[in-house]
Amino acid sequence: MGSLGVVVLFNANLEAVVPLAKLLESAGFDAVSALIPEVINGRCDAIGIMERHDPAVVVYDIGPPYEENWEIFQICRATSMRDRRFVITSANPAHVQRLAGRDERIYEIVDEPWDLDTIVHAVKEAVRARRIIPGNGSPHHISNVTTMPERRHSDRRQSSSWTSNDIYRKLREKREEMEFERRRVGRRATDRDHGPSSHAA
């Protein structure tokens, strides 16, 4: 029996990736994993992974700080990930769902990153929905975000106009913005602690 398809896992935590990859493989998928920090610093070629493995589904974990990591996810998705189905995991799904809005490319947001059985089930449903031909019915599973419509273009793979250098440059810029903001907020807190009022007699 052949594989049910490739699933690419993006996560910041290796301890979360390994058991999920094993469970997906036991369910009949081929799992490929990448650590998000290594994508950001350029040690992992996210574009290359997507082009080599052509995954059916991408499982992407978004942890705190949620706004910043959501923006990083958007930068990554501007590459050849852009036409994929996504299962998002997060310890704060309500917040991530507000960030996602009605993003039709996201199949489901799983509310517990360690609930591996639920993630595997969501992946299976995303693959099943992807195979349904428009007009022949709709997926029986309704996600807590939205079920993605079938692509309107052909199944031929479309090349991305982004290069690895583009994505890593954008990610570096985003990381630098985040570091600058943290330092700025830290300086403001220090100024308040050491302001004139703090030394009043």
Residue 200 domain flag: no
Local confidence band at 86 (pLDDT 50, 70, 90 cut-offs): very high
CA gap 20, 31 in Å, rounded? 9
Model confidence, pTM: 0.69
CA angle in degrees (0–180, nearest 5) for 39-44-45 = 100
User: Would you say residue 47 has pLDDT above 80?
Assistant: yes
Residue 43 domain flag: yes
**Better-scored residue on pLDDT, 57 or 40:** 57
Residue 131 domain flag: yes
- Please, is 86 exposed, middle or buried when counting C-beta atoms within 10 Å of its C-beta (0-12, 13-18, 19+)? buried
Count the domains in the chain. 1
Local confidence band at 188 (pLDDT 50, 70, 90 cut-offs): low
Full residue range of the structural domain in which residue 34 is found: 6-151+160-193
Residues forming beta bridges with residue 166, ordered by sequence position: none
User: Would you say residue 159 has pLDDT above 60?
Assistant: no
Least confidently predicted of 3-17, 79-93, 127-141: 127-141
Of 102, 3, 13, which is closest to residue 63 (Cα–Cα)? 13
**Chain segment 89-145, per-residue pLDDT in tens:** 998 988 999 998 888 778 888 876 678 999 999 999 999 887 654 444 443 333 333
Q: Tell me the CATH number at 42.
A: 3.40.50.2300
pLDDT at 84: 82
CA gap 65, 97 in Å, rounded? 14
Residue 1 domain flag: no
Residue 198 domain flag: no
Residue 184 domain flag: yes
Local confidence band at 189 (pLDDT 50, 70, 90 cut-offs): low
Residue 13 domain flag: yes
Local confidence band at 161 (pLDDT 50, 70, 90 cut-offs): low
Residue 201 domain flag: no
